[in-house]
Structure 1
Amino acid sequence: MSALEDQTILRETATRVLAGHGLVLEEVEIRRGGGMPQVRLVVDLPEDQLGSADLDTVAEASRELSEAVDADDAVLGADPVLLEVTTPGVERELTALRHFRRSRGRLLTLTTTAGTALRARLLAVDGEEMVLRQEPGRDDRGRPRKLPAGTSEHLRLAHEEIDSARVEVEFDPPADLEQLLAEAEAAPDDPDDTTPAAAPAATKES
């Protein structure tokens, strides 16, 4: 088995180098085409940190990884390989719990396994449950949308109840976001502050 197929030494080397820069290995992608193989390493901050990885730090880690690959054919083999180190794009679908932990404070577009569409801010991840605040946004005329009558603004969804989720690009996050996150982390479980995942959450115009 080739080094590209095995990836054991590659992952061990990447994990060691990235740890020295405060980064973690998220994913390894191998692309084979007509030319040389392309190895794409997706890196990110640890799941207990918010924000985005510093691009200068990623560049430094990339240079060190390239040096490690050049110095040891066991990492990627002796044949030429194009190595790319990058961070996850905003279009990435959130699947694993660590993806959600890294997205605390972000506005998400979700669909539950029951088929309910939600637009909500992820405030905390409590075990395998997402603590969310629904934010319907505005309609085409700029008017605030309202939640259906009887629907709670705050809800909790189990990881297994989420069919799909993506981060929504946001240019003007709430000014009190840090306070919201702190309060969500500190708040005890409240059964009265939960909306069932199957409850209708479609928005309507005022």
Structure 2
Amino acid sequence: MVAPAHAERVRHVVEPAVVAEGLVLEDVTVRKAGSRSVVEVVLDITEDDEGGLDLDRVAQATRAVSDALDAADVIVGEYTLDVMSPGVDRALTERRHFTHAVGHLVTVALSDGGSLAGRLTEVDRSDDAIVVVPVTPGLKGRKPVVGEPVRVPLSDVRHAHVEVDLSGIGPVDDDDSAGHDAAAGKES
């Protein structure tokens, strides 16, 4: 692993290029791989970005990051640049992470030691809280049990992550019928 100070210098150089592309710089790591360095840059979308981080946006950001690194010459010798999105298994640590996870199943570890699993239905910006509708899987082919919505201040969240939903239902859409919304844990 290359010194953390080196990664900070790289972050300082690439962050303006990432921001100019309308994205957020999530993380930067620099490590050695034989005689060359590997620079890993993790990008995300802003909280209000309704688009996604598709391949075209990643490619465009990669060019901008590469140009910034080449212009500043902060990496000595040859390097490989890997620009990527955080992935589905990333921890939800900021409000924008939760905002983009609305409609998905989440598991939330609370600072009091408790936990909450269910469908994330809302992120309230006015008081920095999330709303999760608890969903307990049904046993032996029965329907899941949907509880009452639980409001959790983000300050009470120790850590959280999106659960991979293999039920085939996927995220809840606003276009779903009221009956399906209630079954999926979304308020009409």
Instruction: Supply the distance in 2 between the matched residues of 1:60 and 1:90 (Cα, whole angstroms).
Output: 22
Name the SS for the 1:19 alignment partner: helix
Instruction: Supply the distance in 2 between the matched residues of 1:20 and 1:99 (Cα, whole angstroms).
Output: 20
Residue 167 of structure 1 pairs with residue 144 of structure 2: no
Cα gap change, 1:57 to 1:90, in 2 (>3 Å): same
Q: Offset of 1:82 from its aligned partner? A: 1.7
1:119-154, CA deviations, whole angstroms, 9 ceiling, x for partnerless residues? 222211333321222233443x3312326xxxx511
Query: 1:88 aligns to what?
Result: 86
Q: Offset of 1:8 from its aligned partner? A: 5.2
Name the SS for the 1:135 alignment partner: strand
Higher mean C-alpha deviation, range 93-102 or range 38-47: 93-102
Instruction: Supply the distance in 1 between the matched residues of 2:175 and 2:107 (Cα, whole angstroms).
Output: 18
Residues 37-48 of structure 1 mapped to structure 2, 5 A cutoff = 37-48=37-48
Q: Which residue type is aligned with residue 90 of structure 2?
A: R
Instruction: Supply the distance in 2 between the matched residues of 1:104 and 1:25 (Cα, whole angstroms).
Output: 21
Query: 2:130 aligns to what?
Result: 130
2:110 is aligned, of 93, 109, 112, to: 112
Give aligned-pair identity as a percent.
33
Q: Offset of 1:95 from its aligned partner? A: 2.0
Q: Offset of 1:62 from its aligned partner? A: 0.4
Q: Which residue type is aligned with residue 124 of structure 1?
A: V
Name the SS for the 2:106 alignment partner: strand
Contact 2:7 2:29 in 1 (8 A): no
Q: Offset of 1:173 from its aligned partner? A: 2.1
Q: Which residue type is aligned with residue 145 of structure 1?
A: P
Contact 1:104 1:125 in 2 (8 A): no
1:71-118, CA deviations, whole angstroms, 9 ceiling, x for partnerless residues? 331xx2332222111001111111233322332333211222333332
Instruction: Supply the distance in 2 between the matched residues of 1:158 and 1:142 (Cα, whole angstroms).
Output: 34
Query: 1:27 aligns to what?
Result: 27
Residue 69 of structure 1 pairs with residue 69 of structure 2: yes
Instruction: Supply the distance in 2 between the matched residues of 1:44 and 1:80 (Cα, whole angstroms).
Output: 26
Instruction: Supply the distance in 2 between the matched residues of 1:177 and 1:128 (Cα, whole angstroms).
Output: 26
User: Which consecutive residues of structure 2, in runs of 5 or more, have no partner in the other structure?
Assistant: 179-188
Residue 57 of structure 1 pairs with residue 57 of structure 2: yes
Contact 2:10 2:28 in 1 (8 A): no
Contact 1:50 1:103 in 2 (8 A): no
Contact 1:106 1:121 in 2 (8 A): yes
Which has a greater percent of strand? 2
User: Which consecutive residues of structure 1, in runs of 5 or more, have no partner in the other structure?
Assistant: 181-206
Instruction: Supply the distance in 1 between the matched residues of 2:9 and 2:103 (Cα, whole angstroms).
Output: 35
RMSD over aligned Cα atoms? 3.0
